[in-house]
Homo-oligomer: A and B are copies of this chain.
């Protein structure tokens, strides 16, 4: 842990063209203040790896509307017509990945696996261009790891050494993404002294977190 950043400082750390994993599911558990700061600094050419692009005006939807995103790797963009429109017009390059495959690819990237074999997507468009591996008579798609320059994590509590806990469905992709970002920036709702989060409640160990966002004040 290198210390707390303002949203503006975090946005400065992230250069145009960077790849970002952004936690959240339909903007639930998404680090909104970091997104606002990226929009404010006029970020461009980002690759966003996330479950979805939320809806216009919420979470990742703000980055889409602002024209900050060149590429999306997601499982679902159906609830954001702007993403769909920009994909069809060619402004955004979009890779659609089955949700369970997406989370395993991110986990593989974060956990040093060379890939995983999954049956999801076999004999569908998802199979195109992929290696099919047979194990004990069954066929599987070889899905390769994903990593990103930055992981932007939305958390509930953080302590001073960066341990994170999450609440209910605001957890979603955040814990796996915290493994797979080369630089991990977490935006907690509150920051508490070391010892307040019991060891068994830590879902992301602080050793994974490079920076916390300062509290919202």
CA of A67 to CA of B113 in the docked complex: distance in angstroms?
A: 37
Partner of A117, one of B114, B168, B171: B114
Least distance between A185 CB and chain B CB atoms (Å): 23
What mask results when residues 196 to 217 of chain A are scored 1 for a CB within 8 Å of chain B, else 0? Answer: 0001110000000000000000
In the assembly, how many copies of this chain are there? 2
What mask results when residues 93 to 112 of chain A are scored 1 for a CB within 8 Å of chain B, else 0? Answer: 00000000000100010001
Partner of A200, one of B119, B133, B165, B199: B165
Asked if A45 CB lies within 8 Å of chain B CBs, one says no
Asked if A115 CB lies within 8 Å of chain B CBs, one says yes
What mask results when residues 121 to 148 of chain A are scored 1 for a CB within 8 Å of chain B, else 0? Answer: 0000000000101011010101011000
Asked if A118 CB lies within 8 Å of chain B CBs, one says yes
What mask results when residues 170 to 196 of chain A are scored 1 for a CB within 8 Å of chain B, else 0? Answer: 010000000000000000000000000
Q: Assuming A166-B200, A167-B200, what are 4 further A-B pairs, CB within 8 angstroms?
A: A113-B140, A115-B116, A115-B117, A115-B135
